[in-house]
Amino acid sequence: MEASAPVEAPAHVEPPAPAPVRAEPPAPHEPDPAEIERALRDSGLEMVQTRSSGPIELPPDAEFVPAKRERRPPPADIDEPLVQVQTTRDTPEPKP
């Protein structure tokens, strides 16, 4: 029979570091209406409140009228006869 090898005890094991404590943000609070009014007045803004209840009555649409644009004057050479121009591509000469 063989003797088993001695088992070494683990070296000093450090306990895991505690998780950092996270500060929870303060609970949201309702702003003071007087403070809101003062901030709006100081900034020059105007507060507008809308209501989502009830049907919305839209004003009737105005009748569509297309924009009138002036016609471009005809080109000066409109009475001249047309000229046929033949175009060909010459083979380019090699560059030295």
Whether residue 1 is predicted with pLDDT greater than 60 in this model: the reply is no
The identity of residue 52, as a single letter, is S
Flag whether the pTM goes above 0.75. Answer: no
Predicted confidence at residue 9, as pLDDT, reads 59
- Reported as a single tens digit per residue, the pLDDT across 23-75 is 776 667 777 888 888 888 888 888 787 777 777 788 888 888 888 889 888 88
Distance (Å, whole) CA 82 – CA 75: 14
- Reported as a single tens digit per residue, the pLDDT across 6-22 is 666 556 667 666 666 67
**Following DSSP, what letter does each residue of 6-23 receive, concatenated?**
PPPPP-PPPPPPPPPPPP
Whether residue 84 is predicted with pLDDT greater than 80 in this model: the reply is yes
Instruction: Give the pLDDT mean for 76-93.
Output: 83
